[in-house]
Amino acid sequence: MTETRTVALVTGANKGLGQETVRQLAGRGWQVFLAARDRERGLRAAGTLAGEGLEVEFVELDVTSDESVSAAVKAVAERVDRLDVLVNNAGVGGPLLDPADMDAGALRALYEVNVFGQVRVTHAFLPMLRGSQQPRIVMVSSALASLTHAGDPARPEHGFLSLDYASSKAALNMVVSQYARALPGFKVNAADPGNPSTDMNHHTGIHTVAEGATAIVRLATLDPGGPTGGFFGSDGPVPW
């Protein structure tokens, strides 16, 4: 019954960090929609979690498609009367190119998912989120978006050049700031999952997906007194 249970939706959730976020939220007794663009993989992931005794439903959602996002909103609205938590996890990494070799086309392709996709999904689900007494939006960002870290030679982010990915996450952080100030009553925050071992980094990360999901889940479960418009990792605030 959605009157008393928290309802959440996680994008890009058929594997890795997204699937683990769904697992942890559903493990709290929440009703969670596992959203993914690949129907077969999404159904398989939802089935795996359902086999663990978790209440998880698959919804097909391609963040780059207006039609797909609209259909996903309709599908969710047919099942529940509101959405309490939206986790914008879907994201892609770009080619490992020197910034001098990066052209606008490559940048545009990555922004379509990492920035425009997050705005597309958030805008579409805002009516359902407004039906919640405690609406929360979590944007999955990265420490690579931190201008402070990028400018510090002692930080690993300083030595990692990624014009497309890092700048897309920095843009996403400003999206978070704008939404947080424009949506009173909402909790809108950016999460830094650290460096979890996933397909995106060819499983070279130093954290498990369970560890990476910590900051996301913490922001997804904020109480009414929690922060909004911030950037947080598992250990606390991350500098802009």
By annotation, the residues acting in catalysis are 165, 169
Q: Cα separations (Å) of 211 from 79, 138, 155, 184?
A: 31, 17, 20, 30
Phi, psi (deg, nearest 5) at residue 95: -70, 145
Pure H helices in 84-194: 104-111, 117-129, 147-150, 163-182
Backbone angle region of 194, left / alpha / beta, with phi > 0 → left and psi within -120 to 50 → alpha:
left
CB 232 within 8 A of CB 215: yes
229 in Cβ contact with 201 (< 8 Å): no
| H or E element in which residue 20 lies | helix 16-26
Calpha distance 132→181 (Å, rounded): 18
Backbone angles phi, psi at 166, to 5 degrees: -60, -45
- CA–CA separation, 7 and 146 (whole Å): 31
Letter for the amino acid at 196? P
